[in-house]
Amino acid sequence: MKTVTLGVSSVEATKRRMAAAFQGEAQGTFISFTSIELLWKVLTAKRWEILHAMTGQGELAIREVARRVGRDVKAVHGDVTALVHAGVLERSGDGVSFPYDAVHVDFTLRKAA
């Protein structure tokens, strides 16, 4: 099963993971955001529905994604475009793909300063 971890990570932490990967240490697949605010801005409730509908499904046409989430094509196209620009979805051929079978979300909420 191919799992992606979505989370909040500093640039330094991302660099450490990259360095470890270059040394041959398995790191898994990550899509990182620099802040929780950015994560929630990109991954809205409607976009989570899109990811859920696309998980493990291979390449899908935007029209098919819209059908699966029960929304109009134009609105889904806008959300898919935002997810592609954020590096969450991949454009491929005549559609888009989310090439993972599972999603793990990882971030820590700490007390306010």
Helices (H), the chain: 11-22, 36-42, 45-54, 62-69, 73-85
Buried b (16+ CB within 10 A) or exposed e, 65-77: bbebbebeeeebb
Is the confidence at residue 6, as pLDDT, over 80?
yes
The residues, ordered by sequence, that sit 6+ positions from 17 with a Cβ below 8 Å of its Cβ are: 9, 27, 30
pLDDT beyond 80 at 63: yes
Residue 102 pLDDT exceeds 80 = yes
Tokens, residue 39: 């994560």
Residue of higher predicted confidence among 8 and 42: 42
Share of the chain above pLDDT 70, in %: 95
Q: How many C-beta atoms lie closer than 10 Å to residue 19's C-beta? A: 11
Task: Name the average pLDDT for the chain.
Answer: 88
Judge whether residue 70 has pLDDT over 90.
yes
**pLDDT value, residue 50:** 98
State yes or no: pLDDT of 21 exceeds 70: no
| Res 107: pLDDT | 75
Q: The whole model's pTM is what?
A: 0.82
Domains of the chain: 3-106 (1.10.10.10)
Read off the tokens for 90: 């991949």
**pLDDT tens string 24-59:** 766 678 888 888 889 999 999 999 999 999 999 999
